[in-house]
Chain A
């Protein structure tokens, strides 16, 4: 066991005294976080496009005039991708109403519009009675929003305005005497948080830092140790190979944990983020992805031994995976062939998972996928590594 401790200690010391390692593991992610936050914090604030979730409880296949569908069409006409769109619509089933509320709480949507089951009936009744001059309660739609969140409140106002426009149109064109629709605004409760760009980008930078460290702390080191006979020297002693791998890996993961807390503290105490750094789930998941990335680093270090080749290969892997991980900006509207890489990218799943586990928002991918995909990478790395002769005799 003392071998593991000494392998851990000496490799950690070696890294901590290595300016290059310190730069890539600690300084670079910190700088990147600063630069991104300072550059992009105010971007998009002036946009008047609101993310609206519509839940249509009224039967879409109802006989007669389907007022609910007409209303949805009206919303679609002023939504993305139409010019000057006010809304980006997402449709959800009535069963998912709680998920929709969560999305608003986590600022992934601004409001939820629920068209009630009785909507068609209420409109019909309102129209018929209006024709004969009898005043009756207008049909209601429910709008759920967060009163203490600016964009949600604004969105609620814009929906109210849109409904007034529709009512005016109905009154003037169809000569109805009364408003057909009424908005019933309901609050969802307390907003969970207000995710700023710092909140959005911090978990991604933490994931990126772990991935970069996995590659840049391990691959070049292992390659040079193989090239200059240090691995051979270890192998000529009674030291056990698995003790080396354990001690060596632990020293790298220790550095990655320092990186995690450094970035998280920076995000919270300097950049005013509200991410949950001490979430046990987040820390455990981070440890899990560190192991996966360390194994990828081992693969590269076992594949090539020249410093130029290691540098080229790490850049070749590192850059596209980072750009297709949604670390800096949300990924949407990508061409299908790029999406293939996104769906296979362990960083994308790790970033999604870390955002949810650090309380920034709901993961864009299910949690089981966020565990499965990095696990598959881990397994593939292990299988590949078992075919390489890092320590074994030839």
Chain B
């Protein structure tokens, strides 16, 4: 599903070069729940941004679903993000002036679903994660845990092939964090491929496999 070969990422400023990723090789199988762990500054989020097509690597190859993403143009990458990938960000990344329902609807509308269809799909998924009573609330009217659940609903609504999550529990208390991870587990059980960056070992245990990054390199892999 995902094949990463010899991936490098270097940030350049006027007089400084920072090598964040230094030759990463990684493979994620369909239906796998992969955890990426490491200390702060190890390059885990940077790795996720490269393989989730939010950024361009300096060197290397990323193959998603058999397609070499470095050969894709800007529009094709946008299209692939919309059709194939789903994102859950650390700070939820919901659009503040949209209700929970509308936040979930946007990618569906962009895909060409009718408004009625988009509403129906969004409502169902929000109901399924226990937010039936909160669909018309704006993000500012929701708790952190609820916002993250809306964010997951948005990421899942268009049925992506791969779900990327960047420290999804970092801003949550343990109760909300647990419920979010349980939600991931539930989704994963239905066959969803998930790539999750986390620094919290207690949540990493739900993954099928964990890769550890240190100084821009994968130093080891383990199964919980």
Bound together? no
